[in-house]
Amino acid sequence: MAITTINPTILKRAQAWLNDINIDNETKARISLMIENDPSEVAESFYCDLEFGTGGLRGIMGDGTNRMNKYTVGMATQGLANYLKTEFAGKGAISIAIAHDSRNNSSYFAKTSAEVLSANGITVYLFENLRPTPELSFAVRHLHCQSGIVITASHNPKEYNGYKVYWDDGAQLVPPHDKNVIFEVQKIASIGEVNFEGDPSKIFMIGEEIDQEFLRVSKSYSLAPEVIAPQKDMKIVFTPLHGTGITLVPQALRNFGFENIHIVEEQAVSDGNFPTIVSPNPEEKAAMQMALDKARVINADLVLATDPDADRIGVGVKDLDGNYILLNGNQTAALLTYYLIKQWQAKDKLKGDEYIVKTIVTSELVSNIAKSAGVEYYDCLTGFKWIAEVIRNFEGKKTFIGGGEESYGFMIGDFVRDKDAVTACCIFAECAAWAGSKGKSLYELLLDIYLEYGLYKENLVNVVKKGMSGQAEIKAMMEGFRANPPIEIAGSKVLLMNDYQLRLSTEISSGKITPIELPKSDVLQFFLADGTKISMRPSGTEPKIKFYFSVRADLDKVENFKNVETKLDSRIEEIIVSMGLR
């Protein structure tokens, strides 16, 4: 229902911006029109402050306290600057690297951040143009910066933008720095506390020199160049979905030795309006359709895609009938894990201290592949900052092979400390060449994995709760499951409940409780007697709650794949319906 009158408290917040001498006249004019013509938009724009969470900012662009704009970005940056100056006091000069994606206003927000930081005496290394998020993570480490910022809303719709903060190891913020930065940002009570007057002498433009160093190190992770050379003409279709992937992925593939790369030219144009797609998300078939169409025309061997900031990878392959299908994030992670471990074994690189990391909502297929090879694996909370924390904890003690999550992210080696679709694209192409050297397609390789480890099938249901009431509704859903956990779901007994908010694992039948060692997080998991795993968590970046479903069955021969897959799909649907999500 549209709002016809403005809540007095919200109106007062909007009028405060109109009366603030630090707000420019153009912004004030737009707010005045909003008050006159669009009460609903006033309510959404001013009912709260855009929250600076553990991952930074993410929100719809526009005017107001609950929007991404110069002032909310400036206040966040001033808080970050204050924390950096406190944390590194007496430890020499402070520097920070900044990158941005192709979204509308990304360059403007990046420059705004650079100006605020330089005004606070901090040296800024600002990328001259759009660059992938993994390159920002690399630049922080390569330039020995104390922090980093990337302006991106990842794969969100075009109305959104975001602001992610990195620490000196090139990883996103984790405790204690995440909460400490949030505290400093919250202390910025007014826009007048932000110093927007930048110091040009402290801003240095960076670009090609970092590109070349990134590409050099990325190429060093190639494990089987000998299988690429005979298949250098393998047909690869690539789309950057109007984002930053175009700056590095084609060149990186060529560096690996692949020569027959076909770019979806319509989507190679960097454009924050994403004109050829509704949503720039490689998880969605609609976003990948142009690449799949091009693949059919040229009979491509592999389809690759990156999201706007090139940290997520999308993959398309041919099935046994010659139809192009999209792999989901769990399948991509499983194939990459399998390939990496097989090559480490073949090259006699496994010395006993290697490990793989996955997130708790990612398929257990990944961990089973690692276990079968005698490689350690670790579970962590959702988000690559937690994978990076595992790497940091084992620095100099153990060797990280790779790690991934179901949401289309993977990281190979530790030179980048965030998901890296640039290197993942190259290693995936190398995996395809390796499969080809054995007379197999990537799809056939995936089927081999299912024959060996079982057929795993996953699904994700997003329950969206927008607006002012959405957060309360999501909280109520989580509290309901937490307070009254189900005894059985779709006819299968619940054996175990993991509550990462309370950090407790409970055996349902006996009531036995075991502590969970991972950090606190608002996530619930149920493990059923039939092997099903159900996870639920509120999104940290969007107004929705996510339900993850994973089921498994043995696969005795390839001919039975479709029948077993159909049964697993039916089982997932049965579970979803029983939980009231359909």
Q: Tokens 């706007």 correspond to what residue?
A: 308
Name residues whose C-beta falls within 8 Å of residue 31's C-beta, 6 or more positions apart in sequence: 14, 17, 18, 63, 64
- For strands 488-489 and 455-464, give the pairing: unpaired
Annotate 112-138 with three-state secondary structure: HHHHHHHHCCCEEEEECCCCCHHHHHH
Instruction: State yes or no: is 154 an active-site residue.
Output: yes
- 100, β-bridge pairs: 151
Interatomic CA distance for residues 52 and 179, integer angstroms = 10
Q: What is the CA radius of gyration of the chain?
A: 24
Structure tokens at 307: 């999201």
Strands 123-127 and 95-100: parallel
Cα–Cα distance for residue pair 85/97, rounded to 1 Å: 16
Show the tokens assigned to 308. Answer: 């706007």
User: What's at 117, amino acid-wise?
Assistant: L
Q: In sequence order, what DSSP letters do the residues of 308-371 get, joined into one string?
A: TTS-BEEEEEE-TTS-EEEE-HHHHHHHHHHHHHHHHHHTT---S-EEEEEETTS-HHHHHHHH
Exactly one of 95, 137, 154, 521 is catalytic; name it. 154
What is the number of residues in the chain?
582
Give the catalytic positions in this structure.
154
